Structure 1
Amino acid sequence: MNRTGATLPPFGLTGWSADRLVDPYPVYHRYRAASPVHPVPDPTAPDAPPTHYVLGHAEVVRVLGDPAYGRSAHRARGTGPAPDGRSALRDLVENWLVFLDPPRHTRLRSVVNREFTPAVVTDLRERIRAIATDLLRDLTATARREGVVDLVEEFAAPFPILVISALLGVPSEDWPWLRDRAVDVQQASSSRAAHDPAAPRRADAAARELTAYFLDLAAHRRTEPGPDLVSLLVTARPGGRSLNDTETVATCVHLMTAGHETTTNTLAKSVLALAARPESWAALRRTPRIPPSAVDELVRFDPPVQAVTRWAYRDLTLGGHPVPRGSKVVALLGAANRDPARFPEPDALRLDRRGRHVSFGLGIHYCLGAALARTEIEIGLGLLLAALDGLGGPRPSGTLAVDEVTYPYDLVFHGPSRLTLRLDPAATPGPAPGPDGR
Structure 2
Amino acid sequence: MSSATLPRFDLKGWDKTDIANPYPVYQRYREVAPVHREASGTGGPDTFFVFSYEEVVRVLSNRLFGRDSAVASGDATAVSGPIPAEQQALRSIIGNWLVFMDPPRHTELRSQLNAEFSPSVVAGLRPRIRQLADELVARLGQRRQADLVEGFAAPFPILVISELLGIPAEDQEWLRANAVALQEASTTRARQGANGYARAEAAAQEFTRYFRREVDQRRGDAREDLLTLLIRARDGGAPLSVDGIVGTCVHLLTAGHETTTNLLAKAVLALRAHPLVLDELRGAPELMPAAAEEFLRYDAPVQAVTRWAYQDSLLGDCEVPRGSRVVALLGSANRDPARFPQPDVLDIHRPADRQLGFGLGIHYCLGATLARAEAEIGLSALLHGIPGLGGGDQQVEYADDMVFHGPARLVLTLSDRTEGRQS
- TM-score relative to the length of structure 1: 0.91
Equivalent position to 2:225, from 221, 224, 228: 228
User: Quick one: distance in 2 between partners of 1:304 and 1:415?
Assistant: 7
Q: Which runs of 4+ in 1 moved over 6 A?
A: none
1:25 matched to 2:23: yes
1:178 matched to 2:175: yes
Equivalent position to 1:259, from 243, 252, 256: 256
Cα deviations by residue, 1:394-436 (Å, 9 ceiling, x for unpaired): 23xxxxx242111111000000011011135xxx5369xxxxx
Deviation at 1:242, TM superposition (A): 4.4
Alignment RMSD (CA, Å): 1.8
The aligned amino acid for 1:409 is D
Q: Which one is further off, 287-296 or 98-107?
A: 287-296
Equivalent position to 2:320, from 316, 323, 334: 323
- Which residue matches 1:358? 356
Q: Which one is further off, 284-293 or 13-22?
A: 284-293
The aligned amino acid for 1:38 is H
SS at match of 2:256: helix
The aligned amino acid for 2:128 is R
Deviation at 1:2, TM superposition (A): 4.1
Deviation at 1:239, TM superposition (A): 10
Aligned pairs for 1:69-80 (under 5 A) are 69-79=65-75, 80=77
1:333 matched to 2:330: yes
Cα deviations by residue, 1:355-403 (Å, 9 ceiling, x for unpaired): 21111111111100000000010011101111221xx2323xxxxx242
1:312 matched to 2:309: yes
- Which residue matches 1:140? 141
1:60 matched to 2:48: no
SS at match of 1:183: helix
1:406 matched to 2:407: no
* Identical positions, percent: 54
The aligned amino acid for 1:90 is R
Cα deviations by residue, 1:240-286 (Å, 9 ceiling, x for unpaired): 43411111000000000000000000000000000010010011101
User: Quick one: distance in 1 between partners of 2:156 and 2:78?
Assistant: 36
User: Quick one: distance in 2 between partners of 1:233 and 1:87?
Assistant: 23
User: Quick one: distance in 2 between partners of 1:32 and 1:2?
Assistant: 12
Deviation at 1:292, TM superposition (A): 2.1
Change (3 A) 1:72 1:129: same
Aligned pairs for 1:202-221 (under 5 A) are 202-221=199-218
Deviation at 1:114, TM superposition (A): 1.2
Q: Which one is further off, 404-413 or 190-199?
A: 190-199
- Which residue matches 2:196? 199
Change (3 A) 1:283 1:200: same
Aligned pairs for 1:39-54 (under 5 A) are 39-45=37-43, 48-54=44-50
User: Quick one: distance in 1 between partners of 2:373 and 2:400?
Assistant: 28
The aligned amino acid for 1:321 is C
The aligned amino acid for 1:57 is Y
SS at match of 1:405: strand
- Which residue matches 1:130? 131
Note if contact 1:108-1:238 (Cα within 8 Å) is conserved in structure 2.
Answer: no
SS at match of 2:219: helix
Cα deviations by residue, 1:3-33 (Å, 9 ceiling, x for unpaired): 8xx9211211123111101100000000000
Note if contact 1:394-1:421 (Cα within 8 Å) is conserved in structure 2.
Answer: no
- Which residue matches 1:435? none
Cα deviations by residue, 1:308-334 (Å, 9 ceiling, x for unpaired): 000011110001101111000000000
Cα deviations by residue, 1:54-110 (Å, 9 ceiling, x for unpaired): 000000000000011000011111222436211111111111001001111011111
Aligned positions, number: 413
User: Quick one: distance in 1 between partners of 2:238 and 2:220?
Assistant: 18
- Which residue matches 1:115? 116
- Which residue matches 1:343? 340
Note if contact 1:290-1:382 (Cα within 8 Å) is conserved in structure 2.
Answer: no
- Which residue matches 2:284? 287
SS at match of 2:396: strand
SS at match of 1:198: helix
The unaligned stretches of length 5 or more in structure 2 are none
